[in-house]
Amino acid sequence: MQALGRQILVEFYDCDRAVLNDENLIRDIMLEGVRRSQATIVTDAFHCFSPHGVSGVVVIAESHVAIHTWPEHGYAAVDIFTCGETIDPWIIQKYLEIHFGAGNVSSMEMKRGLFPERLAHKPMPLEELAA
């Protein structure tokens, strides 16, 4: 079976609580982790909640990386979704682990969009789809 993408669901525990509550720092860490994986950044959006917590997403040409933090618990949930075979999502996971100061990490990888035939990751022109 061939997959359109790989999705890693990551739980970071025992993290630096100050880092997990700093919207700008989280954004910088996420963007640098994505850059190190050689993914193509399209855009990003982050939001800091009151009294604490940050949510954000980095949209990449190869899919996305999203985060939700609970600084009061030293916990962050991250979704790393990459399509194609050129991006290693584990590079992103490791970079985040180090920079969040995670004491414990739980990760699960899933294959997304399973098909029996070999898949092309570049879209077909719309004219060919209609035929």
* Catalytic residue of the set 15, 37, 64, 83: 83
Q: 115: part of which helix (H) or strand (E)?
A: strand 104-115
**Catalytic site includes residue 83:** yes
Number of alpha carbons in the 13 Å side-chain half-sphere of residue 20: 27
**Catalytic site includes residue 55:** no
The neighbouring-strand residues paired with 70 are 75
* Catalytic residue of the set 37, 63, 64, 99: 63
* Catalytic residue of the set 48, 55, 68, 107: 68
**Catalytic site includes residue 48:** no
Whether 77 contacts 67, CB under 8 Å: yes
Active site residues: 63, 68, 83
